[in-house]
Amino acid sequence: MQLQEILYSQGFGTRRVCMGLIQQGHVKVGPMGVVCTDPYAEWEATALRFEVMGESWEYQAHAYLMLHKPAGYECSQKPSSWPSIYTLLPAPLRQRPQGAASGVQAVGRLDQDTTGLLLLSDDGRFIHRLSSPRHHVPKVYQVTCRHEVSSEQVQRLLEGVVLDDDPKPVRAAACAADGSHGVRLTLTEGKYHQVKRMLAAVGNRVEALHRSQIGTIPLPGDLKPGEWRWLTPEQVSALTTKA
């Protein structure tokens, strides 16, 4: 694969920009960090490490990553009131070409005041697999409630509550009290403001909401708010393999 195409595919700019970076000696390739000034030089892309203007990168055919979303960020490319989560990512991830769009996309959304695990990718099949309610991918939430949580409220969440725009009851896949004012809630679908509306339906109110797990992947304890990291191949496989 030509070096120019490798840089372009990884989001380092247009083909013209990538050619300029290479010709100006800003690109080092391989474990020895050899400067390559030929944009048409052929390299084996798989697992290729390279450096662009001091930024180290490894070739990835598709981007799969997790982000610890902090409060005060919107999951939108064009936020209305708060900063975008995409500003937390390096430029190449925001510029990766993918059809008519560009950059990685969030797999579902979290409200601006909700924190926790968010997955992003430029792989449309991966995004659809995790977003579609047909696949029932479980998502675990830690909920802090305004009022004390009763056993009756937990039971109603498990049995199903009716939301104002959907006559079909919405049920928690799992639910357990977590302290006097907390709930650990597992859902397999993602309706608008679903957790908040479910708690309101049983007579309580969400004060804080944190997503701690998607499928079999928990939010790592050492991943701080605002930080991101690549998913491992094993994690991608676990998320996309049917049980």
User: What mean pLDDT is predicted for residues 136-149?
Assistant: 95
What does the DSSP 8-state code read for residue 232? P
- Check whether residue 83 and residue 128 sit in a common domain: yes
82 forms bridges with which residues in the sheet?
none
Domain shared by 199 and 108, yes or no: no
Of the residues 58, 75, 101, the one at which a domain ends: 58
Does residue 197 share a domain with residue 221?
no
C-beta of residue 57 within 8 angstroms of C-beta of residue 45: no
Which CATH number belongs to the domain containing residue 172 in this structure? 3.30.70.1560
What is the average pLDDT across 127-136? 86
pLDDT at 99: 66
Which residues are known to be catalytic?
Answer: 111
Burial degree of 51 (CB within 10 A; 0-12, 13-18, 19+): middle
**Mean local confidence (pLDDT), 1-6:** 96
Q: Work out the end-to-end distance of the chain between its first and last CA atoms, rounded to an integer number of angstroms.
A: 36
Residues 142 and 106 in one domain: no
Co-location of 152 and 86 in the same domain: no
State whether 221 and 130 are in the same domain: yes
The residue ranking higher by pLDDT, 102 or 36, is 36
Q: Is there a single domain that holds both residue 147 and residue 191?
A: yes
Whether the predicted pLDDT of 243 surpasses 60: no
The band of 100, judged by pLDDT with boundaries at 50, 70 and 90, is: low
DSSP state of 42: B
| Higher local confidence (pLDDT), 100 or 116 | 116
- In which element (H, E) is residue 168 found? strand 166-170
Q: Does 68 share its domain with 129?
A: yes
Give pLDDT tens digits for 197-213: 999 999 999 999 999 99
The dihedral sign for the CA sequence 122, 123, 127, 128: positive
Tell me how crowded residue 65 is: count the other CB atoms within 10 A of its CB.
Answer: 17
Continuous segment of H or E residues that includes residue 170: strand 166-170
**Taking residues 63-88, what's their average pLDDT?**
95
Nearest to 142 by CA among 168, 117, 164: 117
161, 128: one domain: no
Interval 227-242 mean pLDDT = 93
Residues 50 and 151 occupy one common structural domain: no
Same domain (yes/no): 109, 10: no
Measuring CA to CA, which residue among 100, 164, 113, 173 is closest to residue 139? 173
Domain that includes residue 222, residue range: 64-134+217-240
Q: What are phi and psi of 60, to 5 degrees?
A: -130, 120
Average pLDDT over residues 73-94: 94
Query: Would you say 27 and 3 are in contact if contact means Cβ atoms under 8 Å apart?
Result: yes
107-110 — which CB contacts under 8 Å span 24+ positions? 107/131, 107/214, 108/75, 108/190, 109/75, 109/76, 110/69, 110/75, 110/211
Mean pLDDT of the chain: 93
Q: How many CB atoms lie within 10 A of CB 120?
A: 23
Number of domains forming the structure of the chain: 3
**Confidence grade of residue 82 (pLDDT, cut at 50, 70, 90):** very high
* Higher pLDDT among residues 219 and 80, named by residue: 219
- Say how far apart CA 123 and CA 136 lie, in whole Å: 19
| Same domain, yes or no: 177 and 122 | no
Q: Are 97 and 11 in contact (CB under 8 A)?
A: yes
Helix (H) or strand (E) holding 87: none
End residue of a domain, out of 58, 78, 95:
58
